[in-house]
Structure 1
Amino acid sequence: MAVSEGLAIGALARRTGLAVSAIRYYEAQGLIAPWRNAGGQRRYQRADIRRLSFIMIAQQFGLTLPEIRDVLSGLPGSRTPTPQDWRKISVRLRARLDQRIATLTRLRDNLDGCIGCGCLSLPKCALYNPDDRAKSHGSGPRYLMGDSPDT
Protein backbone atom coordinates (compact mmCIF):
# COMPACT_ATOMS: atom_id res chain seq x y z
CA MET A 1 0.00 0.00 0.00
CA ALA A 2 1.35 3.42 -0.92
CA VAL A 3 1.57 6.00 1.84
CA SER A 4 -0.74 8.29 -0.15
CA GLU A 5 -3.46 5.64 0.15
CA GLY A 6 -3.41 5.94 3.91
CA LEU A 7 -3.90 3.18 6.46
CA ALA A 8 -7.01 1.05 6.67
CA ILE A 9 -8.65 0.97 10.09
CA GLY A 10 -7.59 -2.67 10.61
CA ALA A 11 -3.96 -1.82 9.92
CA LEU A 12 -4.18 1.11 12.31
CA ALA A 13 -5.72 -1.15 14.95
CA ARG A 14 -2.95 -3.73 14.58
CA ARG A 15 -0.26 -1.07 14.73
CA THR A 16 -1.64 0.71 17.82
CA GLY A 17 -3.09 -2.28 19.66
CA LEU A 18 -6.46 -0.53 19.87
CA ALA A 19 -9.75 -2.17 18.97
CA VAL A 20 -11.38 -0.91 15.79
CA SER A 21 -14.31 0.25 17.94
CA ALA A 22 -11.94 2.38 20.04
CA ILE A 23 -10.50 4.00 16.94
CA ARG A 24 -14.00 4.79 15.73
CA TYR A 25 -14.84 6.22 19.16
CA TYR A 26 -11.79 8.51 19.08
CA GLU A 27 -12.84 9.57 15.60
CA ALA A 28 -16.34 10.39 16.88
CA GLN A 29 -14.73 12.42 19.67
CA GLY A 30 -12.84 14.49 17.11
CA LEU A 31 -9.40 13.23 18.14
CA ILE A 32 -8.50 11.82 14.72
CA ALA A 33 -9.95 12.65 11.31
CA PRO A 34 -9.75 10.00 8.60
CA TRP A 35 -10.81 10.52 5.04
CA ARG A 36 -12.72 8.19 2.76
CA ASN A 37 -11.19 6.58 -0.31
CA ALA A 38 -13.07 6.12 -3.58
CA GLY A 39 -14.67 2.95 -2.17
CA GLY A 40 -15.92 4.81 0.91
CA GLN A 41 -13.48 3.12 3.31
CA ARG A 42 -11.86 5.09 6.13
CA ARG A 43 -8.20 5.87 5.62
CA TYR A 44 -5.84 7.25 8.23
CA GLN A 45 -2.58 9.14 8.10
CA ARG A 46 0.53 7.44 9.47
CA ALA A 47 0.67 10.38 11.91
CA ASP A 48 -2.54 9.00 13.45
CA ILE A 49 -0.46 6.16 14.91
CA ARG A 50 1.37 8.70 17.04
CA ARG A 51 -1.82 10.64 17.84
CA LEU A 52 -3.51 7.47 19.08
CA SER A 53 -0.44 6.47 21.06
CA PHE A 54 -0.42 9.93 22.65
CA ILE A 55 -4.11 9.56 23.51
CA MET A 56 -3.49 6.25 25.27
CA ILE A 57 -0.55 7.65 27.25
CA ALA A 58 -2.35 10.88 28.11
CA GLN A 59 -5.31 8.92 29.45
CA GLN A 60 -2.98 6.89 31.66
CA PHE A 61 -1.71 10.18 33.10
CA GLY A 62 -5.25 11.21 33.90
CA LEU A 63 -6.06 13.63 31.09
CA THR A 64 -9.69 13.64 30.02
CA LEU A 65 -10.70 13.33 26.39
CA PRO A 66 -11.66 17.04 26.21
CA GLU A 67 -8.22 17.94 27.60
CA ILE A 68 -6.56 15.63 25.09
CA ARG A 69 -8.63 17.13 22.26
CA ASP A 70 -7.51 20.60 23.34
CA VAL A 71 -3.86 19.56 23.36
CA LEU A 72 -4.10 17.81 19.99
CA SER A 73 -5.84 20.83 18.46
CA GLY A 74 -2.41 22.48 18.49
CA LEU A 75 -1.10 19.94 15.99
CA PRO A 76 -1.33 20.71 12.30
CA GLY A 77 -4.04 18.87 10.40
CA SER A 78 -2.55 19.42 6.98
CA ARG A 79 0.85 17.86 7.60
CA THR A 80 2.64 15.35 9.75
CA PRO A 81 3.58 16.86 13.12
CA THR A 82 7.25 17.71 13.53
CA PRO A 83 9.39 17.20 16.62
CA GLN A 84 8.91 20.93 17.31
CA ASP A 85 5.12 20.44 17.29
CA TRP A 86 5.41 17.66 19.86
CA ARG A 87 7.85 19.76 21.92
CA LYS A 88 5.20 22.50 22.18
CA ILE A 89 2.76 19.93 23.50
CA SER A 90 5.28 18.68 26.05
CA VAL A 91 5.82 22.22 27.33
CA ARG A 92 2.05 22.66 27.74
CA LEU A 93 1.75 19.41 29.69
CA ARG A 94 4.89 19.63 31.82
CA ALA A 95 3.31 21.53 34.75
CA ARG A 96 0.28 19.25 34.72
CA LEU A 97 2.49 16.15 34.76
CA ASP A 98 4.70 17.59 37.52
CA GLN A 99 1.56 18.21 39.60
CA ARG A 100 0.33 14.67 38.96
CA ILE A 101 3.74 13.22 39.91
CA ALA A 102 3.67 15.20 43.17
CA THR A 103 0.16 13.95 43.92
CA LEU A 104 1.11 10.34 43.20
CA THR A 105 4.22 10.69 45.36
CA ARG A 106 2.10 12.00 48.27
CA LEU A 107 -0.36 9.17 47.74
CA ARG A 108 2.43 6.58 47.78
CA ASP A 109 4.00 8.09 50.88
CA ASN A 110 0.73 8.51 52.81
CA LEU A 111 -1.40 5.64 51.61
CA ASP A 112 -1.12 3.80 54.92
CA GLY A 113 -1.96 6.89 56.96
CA CYS A 114 -4.22 9.89 56.93
CA ILE A 115 -4.83 11.53 53.56
CA GLY A 116 -6.92 14.32 55.03
CA CYS A 117 -10.28 13.11 53.75
CA GLY A 118 -12.06 13.91 57.00
CA CYS A 119 -13.27 10.38 57.71
CA LEU A 120 -11.47 10.21 61.07
CA SER A 121 -11.69 6.42 60.90
CA LEU A 122 -8.01 5.73 61.47
CA PRO A 123 -6.49 6.32 64.91
CA LYS A 124 -3.62 8.13 63.19
CA CYS A 125 -6.08 10.61 61.66
CA ALA A 126 -6.70 12.05 65.08
CA LEU A 127 -3.03 13.02 65.06
CA TYR A 128 -2.90 14.39 61.49
CA ASN A 129 -6.42 15.75 61.31
CA PRO A 130 -7.75 16.40 64.83
CA ASP A 131 -11.32 17.69 64.89
CA ASP A 132 -11.36 17.34 61.09
CA ARG A 133 -9.28 20.49 60.51
CA ALA A 134 -8.79 19.42 56.87
CA LYS A 135 -12.39 20.40 56.09
CA SER A 136 -11.49 24.07 56.53
CA HIS A 137 -9.51 23.78 53.26
CA GLY A 138 -12.49 22.44 51.31
CA SER A 139 -13.83 19.09 50.23
CA GLY A 140 -11.87 16.05 49.18
CA PRO A 141 -8.61 14.50 50.39
CA ARG A 142 -7.04 17.84 51.27
CA TYR A 143 -3.62 16.59 52.35
CA LEU A 144 -3.30 14.43 49.25
CA MET A 145 -4.31 17.45 47.15
CA GLY A 146 -1.34 19.38 48.55
CA ASP A 147 -2.68 21.11 51.67
CA SER A 148 -0.49 20.79 54.72
CA PRO A 149 -1.81 19.60 58.06
CA ASP A 150 0.00 22.57 59.62
CA THR A 151 -1.96 25.22 57.69
Structure 2
Amino acid sequence: MSLPAPHWTPAQLAERSGLKVSALHFYEREGLIVSTRTSGNQRRYPRDTVRRLAFVRAAGRVGVPLADIRAALADLPAGRTPTAADWERLSENWRAELDTRIATLTQLRDDLGGCIRCGCLSLERCALFNPGDEYGGRHPGKNTLMRTRAG
Protein backbone atom coordinates (compact mmCIF):
# COMPACT_ATOMS: atom_id res chain seq x y z
CA MET A 1 0.00 0.00 0.00
CA SER A 2 1.37 3.41 -0.92
CA LEU A 3 1.17 5.77 2.04
CA PRO A 4 1.02 9.50 1.50
CA ALA A 5 3.33 11.66 3.54
CA PRO A 6 2.99 13.21 6.02
CA HIS A 7 -0.58 12.20 6.98
CA TRP A 8 -2.59 8.97 6.82
CA THR A 9 -6.28 8.35 6.51
CA PRO A 10 -7.98 6.40 9.31
CA ALA A 11 -8.07 3.31 7.07
CA GLN A 12 -4.34 3.57 6.35
CA LEU A 13 -3.49 4.03 10.03
CA ALA A 14 -5.79 1.15 10.97
CA GLU A 15 -4.10 -1.13 8.44
CA ARG A 16 -0.63 -0.11 9.59
CA SER A 17 -1.41 -0.38 13.33
CA GLY A 18 -3.59 -3.48 13.23
CA LEU A 19 -6.40 -1.61 14.97
CA LYS A 20 -9.93 -1.00 13.79
CA VAL A 21 -10.92 2.50 12.74
CA SER A 22 -13.38 2.57 15.65
CA ALA A 23 -10.45 1.98 18.04
CA LEU A 24 -8.63 4.95 16.49
CA HIS A 25 -11.67 7.12 17.07
CA PHE A 26 -11.90 5.88 20.67
CA TYR A 27 -8.21 6.68 21.33
CA GLU A 28 -8.73 10.09 19.79
CA ARG A 29 -11.77 10.79 22.01
CA GLU A 30 -9.66 9.71 24.99
CA GLY A 31 -6.97 12.25 24.03
CA LEU A 32 -4.29 9.65 23.28
CA ILE A 33 -3.88 10.53 19.60
CA VAL A 34 -4.83 13.55 17.51
CA SER A 35 -5.94 14.10 13.97
CA THR A 36 -6.36 17.08 11.73
CA ARG A 37 -9.28 17.61 9.36
CA THR A 38 -9.23 18.15 5.64
CA SER A 39 -11.38 20.79 3.97
CA GLY A 40 -13.90 17.97 3.47
CA ASN A 41 -13.84 17.26 7.25
CA GLN A 42 -12.04 13.94 6.87
CA ARG A 43 -9.60 12.86 9.57
CA ARG A 44 -5.88 12.70 8.83
CA TYR A 45 -3.31 11.34 11.26
CA PRO A 46 0.37 12.23 11.36
CA ARG A 47 2.47 9.22 10.38
CA ASP A 48 4.13 9.09 13.78
CA THR A 49 0.74 8.29 15.32
CA VAL A 50 1.52 4.63 14.72
CA ARG A 51 4.35 4.91 17.30
CA ARG A 52 2.00 6.55 19.81
CA LEU A 53 -0.44 3.70 19.27
CA ALA A 54 2.31 1.14 19.85
CA PHE A 55 3.12 2.94 23.12
CA VAL A 56 -0.56 3.02 24.17
CA ARG A 57 -1.06 -0.65 23.37
CA ALA A 58 2.14 -1.77 25.12
CA ALA A 59 1.26 0.19 28.27
CA GLY A 60 -2.32 -1.05 28.19
CA ARG A 61 -1.23 -4.63 27.74
CA VAL A 62 0.68 -4.56 31.03
CA GLY A 63 -2.31 -3.03 32.79
CA VAL A 64 -1.54 0.68 32.85
CA PRO A 65 -4.86 2.56 33.02
CA LEU A 66 -5.73 4.87 30.11
CA ALA A 67 -5.71 7.88 32.44
CA ASP A 68 -2.07 7.15 33.34
CA ILE A 69 -1.16 6.63 29.68
CA ARG A 70 -2.86 9.91 28.77
CA ALA A 71 -0.96 11.74 31.53
CA ALA A 72 2.34 10.24 30.37
CA LEU A 73 1.73 11.32 26.77
CA ALA A 74 0.66 14.79 27.90
CA ASP A 75 3.99 15.20 29.70
CA LEU A 76 5.94 14.80 26.46
CA PRO A 77 7.19 18.09 25.02
CA ALA A 78 4.93 19.47 22.29
CA GLY A 79 2.94 16.23 22.18
CA ARG A 80 5.79 14.44 20.41
CA THR A 81 5.91 10.72 19.88
CA PRO A 82 7.41 8.71 22.75
CA THR A 83 10.98 7.54 22.28
CA ALA A 84 12.68 4.44 23.68
CA ALA A 85 14.09 6.63 26.47
CA ASP A 86 10.57 7.87 27.28
CA TRP A 87 9.32 4.30 27.48
CA GLU A 88 12.21 3.34 29.76
CA ARG A 89 11.51 6.24 32.13
CA LEU A 90 7.75 5.71 32.19
CA SER A 91 7.92 1.94 32.50
CA GLU A 92 10.25 2.35 35.46
CA ASN A 93 7.62 4.57 37.11
CA TRP A 94 4.92 1.96 36.45
CA ARG A 95 7.04 -1.00 37.59
CA ALA A 96 6.29 -0.61 41.33
CA GLU A 97 2.56 -0.46 40.68
CA LEU A 98 2.76 -3.54 38.46
CA ASP A 99 4.79 -5.39 41.09
CA THR A 100 2.08 -4.59 43.66
CA ARG A 101 -0.64 -5.87 41.32
CA ILE A 102 1.32 -9.05 40.64
CA ALA A 103 1.75 -9.65 44.39
CA THR A 104 -1.96 -9.04 44.99
CA LEU A 105 -2.99 -11.40 42.19
CA THR A 106 -0.56 -14.05 43.41
CA GLN A 107 -2.04 -13.79 46.91
CA LEU A 108 -5.59 -13.98 45.50
CA ARG A 109 -4.64 -17.06 43.50
CA ASP A 110 -3.15 -18.71 46.58
CA ASP A 111 -6.18 -17.80 48.72
CA LEU A 112 -8.51 -19.17 46.05
CA GLY A 113 -6.85 -22.57 46.29
CA GLY A 114 -7.37 -22.55 50.06
CA CYS A 115 -10.94 -21.39 49.67
CA ILE A 116 -11.75 -24.24 47.31
CA ARG A 117 -10.34 -26.76 49.81
CA CYS A 118 -12.04 -25.10 52.77
CA GLY A 119 -15.45 -24.54 51.20
CA CYS A 120 -16.65 -22.49 54.18
CA LEU A 121 -17.52 -19.22 52.41
CA SER A 122 -17.92 -17.81 55.92
CA LEU A 123 -18.40 -14.07 55.97
CA GLU A 124 -16.37 -13.89 59.16
CA ARG A 125 -13.44 -16.17 58.31
CA CYS A 126 -13.11 -16.42 54.51
CA ALA A 127 -9.64 -15.21 53.50
CA LEU A 128 -10.77 -14.66 49.91
CA PHE A 129 -14.26 -13.21 50.30
CA ASN A 130 -13.69 -11.19 53.48
CA PRO A 131 -10.01 -11.14 54.47
CA GLY A 132 -9.52 -10.38 58.17
CA ASP A 133 -13.28 -9.75 58.52
CA GLU A 134 -12.73 -6.30 56.97
CA TYR A 135 -16.43 -6.00 56.19
CA GLY A 136 -17.42 -6.61 59.80
CA GLY A 137 -15.00 -3.94 60.97
CA ARG A 138 -16.32 -1.34 58.53
CA HIS A 139 -20.01 -2.25 58.83
CA PRO A 140 -20.76 -3.67 62.29
CA GLY A 141 -24.25 -5.07 62.63
CA LYS A 142 -24.93 -5.38 58.90
CA ASN A 143 -25.82 -8.84 57.70
CA THR A 144 -25.05 -8.51 54.03
CA LEU A 145 -21.73 -8.13 52.25
CA MET A 146 -23.12 -6.63 49.07
CA ARG A 147 -26.31 -4.69 48.56
CA THR A 148 -28.32 -4.49 45.38
CA ARG A 149 -29.45 -1.10 44.11
CA ALA A 150 -33.01 -2.01 45.00
CA GLY A 151 -31.96 -3.09 48.57
Tell me what 1:121 maps to.
121
Cα distance in 2 between the residues matched to 1:26 and 1:111: 36
SS at match of 2:75: coil
Deviation at 1:32, TM superposition (A): 0.6
Residue 76 of structure 2 aligns with an amino acid whose one-letter code is L
Tell me what 1:147 maps to.
none
Instruction: Assess if the C-alpha contact under 8 Å between 1:26 and 1:32 holds in 2.
Output: yes
Between the two proteins, the alignment pairs up a number of residues equal to 132
1:56/1:133 CA distance change after superposition, 3 Å:
same
Cα distance in 1 between the residues matched to 2:89 and 2:49: 18
Instruction: Assess if the C-alpha contact under 8 Å between 1:36 and 1:42 holds in 2.
Output: yes
Tell me what 1:134 maps to.
133
Cα distance in 2 between the residues matched to 1:134 and 1:106: 17
1:97/1:37 CA distance change after superposition, 3 Å:
same
Structure-to-structure mapping, 1:73-88, within 5 angstroms: 73-77=74-78, 79-88=80-89
- Post-superposition CA distance 1:64-123 (Å, at most 9, x none): 322221122122345443222222211221111111222222233333224xxxxx516x
Percent identical residues: 42
What TM-score, normalized to structure 1?
0.66
Unaligned runs of 5+ in 2: 140-151
Tell me what 2:26 maps to.
25
SS at match of 2:77: coil
Instruction: Assess if the C-alpha contact under 8 Å between 2:33 and 2:52 holds in 1.
Output: yes
